Structure 1
Amino acid sequence: MNLEAVRNFRFNSVSQDFSRRDTILYALGLGFGSDALDPDQLRFLLEDRLVAVPSICCVLAHPGRWVAAPELAIDWIRLLHGEQTFEIHHPIPPEGSVKGDYQIAAVEDKGVDKGAILHLVKTLSDAATGARLATVRSVLFLRGDGGCGGFGVPGQSAGPLPGSPPALTLEISTLPQSALIYRLSGDYNPIHADPEAARKAGFERPILHGLCTFGVATRAILSAFAGNAPERLQSLSVRFSRPVFPGETIRTEFFPSGDEIRFRSIAVERNLVVLDRGTARLTM
């Protein structure tokens, strides 16, 4: 990694017009509609009453594969998505025009053999009014870029979950074709669709997008604690632990405390934690 090039890298603002069709397609990628008679699920799927899943803020106005810019010299092939957070400032509309402004806030050097941590911040705004809709933070683990130095002040990571049993659990099944649907929301990385590409990356078969699993957790929070009212969800953060395979069942375990809900998600068939140290905050 060329640290000075990363420090001085400036993104162009990313503008996107999105339609109700895009909002519905995103919800379908998260498995909404598994019960086609459930009015709570249909709110996210029918255009005459449509509301957006808050986690759509993570995919709107995406900056593309900027990490592959030659001047940055990032070993992007070995990059892993480490953590994801969003904070909602105004409910995401079901259609409209948005602008994404990006900044590399910090790089933490963990050492030559341990890699580096890059902190990326997106501010998502309404393109017409300039109103801030969401702040989205991504933590990227650059496994091949340790020993290059660092800069900035990294955000604070969430602590471990309570040691007590969960107060509530909720299971959501993914479909064998979930990744093939979700990729239409903008992430066309072939490891999520092409078996050969997945094998070259070290996976036995295509894996589900991490942000899809993140969206399934958002869906679980909305269902279990918010009455499927997206305007009640203020923020959500997770640490990615392991990939999910399409078709697996995701069990989310909750540890609520006031307006803060700690959680983790488990791939039931393998009994492995796939999202950890989750925190959600809701309005009452």
Structure 2
Amino acid sequence: MPIDPVKATTAAPRTASLAWDHKDVLLYHLGIGAGSHQGGRSLATDPGELRYTLESRLHVLPSFATVAGGGRAVAGALTMPGIDIDLAAVLHGGQTVTLHRPLPIRATGVTQTSRVAAVYDKGKAAVIVLRSDTEDDDGPLWTGVSEIFVKGEGGFGGERGTTERLPAPDTEPGLTVDRHVREDQALLYRLSGDWNPLHADPEFARLAGFDKPILHGLCSYGIVLKAVVDTVLSGDVARVRSYVTRFAGVVYPGETLRVRIWRDTPGPGRVQVTAGVVERDDAPVLTDTLVEYA
């Protein structure tokens, strides 16, 4: 069997040393659309966007944690003992990042420890849950939890696991933000470390069941967090405490993400979000999405 849940979850944690600098942060921000053309105008010289694109004003969007050091945590999960799977069957199912303090623009000697926390049997698919704890000499930086959906690998008789759902509020969102995804967005984003050919190679995408290459789920994840930070948190990335989402559908480069935002929902210090594709009747992309802030 390609996945041995017992072997995977009892394997020794893997530790990696991470490092990054301002060039990695700038590349990530460009990969999620910072400074691009939106709403009929160029944002290349917009003062708010320069916080993402100019090193002298730079801050770090917390979702950078998913690619810091080349995004080794998720890639490493697919080579852990007990896991032998086909990349064409892999999709990102969900992602959580919990921040312990703001991310630095430059870092060396950062230690990331990752382990498979669970493997769930969803019938026609398996879900691998990966937990990663990242710290530097000053202490914890962030904790990440990734859910990796693997088609065709379920049915092994394991625990199904639970799914915490966060239904969208019945009220109209306080804010609605559209973000156009460039045709070359996936090609740019993959330079931050996710080299899965699903996002670049049309033939590989067809083998995986898609008409053409799709945008990385974590690229959508970053686009949506940036929209929340810029509109609700006045551009202050340091206020983000945690960010959780479930990936409910795909985005094709060239489409438009519509981000719906409910402030202080389901309570103070929380922002609930949904994201869908405008061109496909608001087909869901991110659901069960919550940003907690200070």
Asked if these proteins are the same fold (TM beyond 0.5), I'd say yes
Contact between 2:96 and 2:242, CA under 8 Å: does it hold in 1? yes
Matched letter for residue 6 of structure 1: A
Specify the alignment match of 2:164 in structure 1.
Answer: 157
| Structure 2 gap segments, 5+ residues each | 37-42
Matched letter for residue 253 of structure 1: R
Specify the alignment match of 1:221 in structure 2.
Answer: 228
Whether 1:100 aligns to 2:106 is: no
Specify the alignment match of 2:177 in structure 1.
Answer: 170
Q: Secondary structure at the match of 2:33?
A: coil
Whether 1:79 aligns to 2:81 is: no
Contact between 2:11 and 2:81, CA under 8 Å: does it hold in 1? no
Q: How many angstroms does 1:74 deviate by?
A: 4.1
Q: How many angstroms does 1:226 deviate by?
A: 0.7
Specify the alignment match of 1:10 in structure 2.
Answer: 12
Instruction: Measure, in 1, the Cα distance between the counterparts of 2:248 and 2:289.
Output: 11
Specify the alignment match of 2:190 in structure 1.
Answer: 183
Instruction: Measure, in 2, the Cα distance between the counterparts of 1:78 and 1:171.
Output: 30
Contact between 2:19 and 2:68, CA under 8 Å: does it hold in 1? no
Instruction: Measure, in 1, the Cα distance between the counterparts of 2:76 and 2:115.
Output: 15
Decide whether aligned partners of structure 1 residues 185 and 78 sit closer, same or farther in structure 2, where only a CA change above 3 A counts: same
Question: How many residue pairs align between the two structures?
Answer: 278
Contact between 2:95 and 2:245, CA under 8 Å: does it hold in 1? yes
Matched letter for residue 285 of structure 2: V
Specify the alignment match of 1:260 in structure 2.
Answer: 270
> Counterparts in 2 of 1:175-254, with a 5 A limit?
175-254=182-261
Instruction: Measure, in 2, the Cα distance between the counterparts of 1:159 and 1:40.
Output: 31
Q: How many angstroms does 1:79 deviate by?
A: 2.5
Instruction: Measure, in 1, the Cα distance between the counterparts of 2:115 and 2:162.
Output: 13
Instruction: Measure, in 1, the Cα distance between the counterparts of 2:223 and 2:165.
Output: 20
Q: How many angstroms does 1:199 deviate by?
A: 1.8
Instruction: Measure, in 1, the Cα distance between the counterparts of 2:200 and 2:89.
Output: 18
Instruction: Measure, in 1, the Cα distance between the counterparts of 2:138 and 2:100.
Output: 12
Q: How many angstroms does 1:200 deviate by?
A: 1.9
Instruction: Measure, in 2, the Cα distance between the counterparts of 1:84 and 1:69.
Output: 19
Specify the alignment match of 1:123 in structure 2.
Answer: 133
Q: Identity percentage over the alignment?
A: 36
Cα deviations by residue, 1:132-171 (Å, 9 ceiling, x for unpaired): 11111111223322232447x9686342121222221111
Cα deviations by residue, 1:98-134 (Å, 9 ceiling, x for unpaired): 22111211222233xx3232211111212xx151111
Decide whether aligned partners of structure 1 residues 92 and 158 sit closer, same or farther in structure 2, where only a CA change above 3 A counts: farther
Instruction: Measure, in 1, the Cα distance between the counterparts of 2:112 and 2:163.
Output: 23
Instruction: Measure, in 1, the Cα distance between the counterparts of 2:58 and 2:273.
Output: 27
Contact between 2:116 and 2:131, CA under 8 Å: does it hold in 1? yes
Q: CA RMSD in A?
A: 2.0
Q: Secondary structure at the match of 2:57?
A: coil
Whether 1:146 aligns to 2:154 is: yes
Contact between 1:75 and 1:144, CA under 8 Å: does it hold in 2? no
Q: How many angstroms does 1:4 deviate by?
A: 2.2
Contact between 2:77 and 2:115, CA under 8 Å: does it hold in 1? no
Whether 1:46 aligns to 2:54 is: yes
Instruction: Measure, in 2, the Cα distance between the counterparts of 1:213 and 1:72.
Output: 27
Whether 1:110 aligns to 2:122 is: yes
Specify the alignment match of 1:56 in structure 2.
Answer: 64
